[in-house]
Amino acid sequence: MTNRLAQDLDDILARTEPLWQELRGQRILITGATGFFGCWLLESFAWANRRLNLNARAAGLARHPGLLVEKAPHLAEDPAIALHAADIRNGDFPQGTFSHVIHAATEASATLNHETPLVMFDTIVTGTRRALQFAAANSVKKFLFVSSGAVYGTQPPELTHLSESFSGGPDPLDPASAYAEGKRAAELLCALAASSGLETKIARCFAFVGSYMKLDAHFAIGNFISDRLHHRPIRVQGDGSPVRSYLYASDLMVWMWTILFRGQPRRAYNVGSEEALNIATLAREVAAALPPAVDIDIACTATPGAPVHRYVPSTARAREELGLRAEVPLREAICRTHAWFSGDTFSEHGISRPRVAARGTHA
């Protein structure tokens, strides 16, 4: 039985191996440890730590660290990983010294952003301020903030790819902007906290696919993979016109660790794929990648002449400054993710088949 996760982790290590020496004998704090980013960060850390004998340690901070026991018991049992239960807004941080921090707390939850936008905003801003204060007080050398492409606001339809120099932004009078404005304010906090002793770097993340992602959230690709797992027709809840791009999780980890270790201080890097496609085409890609043939139901017809919503990054800065590339093709990424959720991919860690929740609404 093929261990897909092990192959992904080997690929991540092969592409980042020289960078890990910086963590030898050191300790890193990762907030948001039970989310999609957090699980992959801990997986890739633990893999590099074992393979390279780094003798490094990681502390994973989360409100409910027990979730990691359910998702990835091998990580919860790893002696190099210590789980710490705390709310990033007001909880205590782990004791001891750290050399690096990756602040990945606060998921891109459309439900939370809609129902309790103040909680969303406060979690991002207060959480980032406290994480930065912790970093400064503990002589942390490098701090990576997981931001979002949402900081750019609505992408103009005529602009195919958003670069870091785009000067747009979300509508500050729209309560739905709580997530995006929170990330913008948190980026400013990172800039203000930067010093000769603390290097702050920012990863503006777009859309992704891979193991540990939520299939019942508002992300179209997860919804479509869930449809195939449940042997349902693929349902597009909309007209299929929005344009997105998707980076596979192993590529994402290569980018995140490279930005942490080699990114320029007080600088933002877009993280994502430049391969743009609309949601209707994405549905067809999922159907083609995961036979047998299946019907695709599109809820409504696009309005002629209506502007198309795009959310696609330019990654020229990451390519030119850090040599980063998206290596895993979309169709392969879909197949790998589907295989993981099917429970067909693990042997080394004995991970059981993940539970697939009911389908959500996507944009």
CA distance 158 to 361: 27
Neighbours of 107 (CB within 10 A): 18
pTM (predicted TM-score): 0.93
How far is residue 205's CA from residue 184's CA, in Å, rounded to a whole number? 13
pLDDT of residue 263: 98
pLDDT for the residue 108: 64
| Burial class for 1, CB neighbours closer than 10 Å (0-12, 13-18, 19+) | exposed
Residue 332 confidence (pLDDT): 97
With a CB cutoff of 8 Å and minimum separation 6, the contacts of 169 are: 151, 152, 153, 180, 184
Under CATH, to which class is 4-209+248-272+311-328 assigned? alpha beta
pLDDT at 304: 81
Q: How far apart are CA 307 and CA 241, in angstroms?
A: 9
Largest CA distance in the chain: 60
Domain boundaries, the chain: 4-209+248-272+311-328
User: In the chain, which residues have pLDDT < 70?
Assistant: 1-2, 107-108, 344-363
* Residue 2 pLDDT: 43
pLDDT at 216: 87
Q: Is 206 in contact with 313 (CB distance < 8 Å)? A: yes
Phi, psi at residue 143, to the nearest 5°? -130, 120
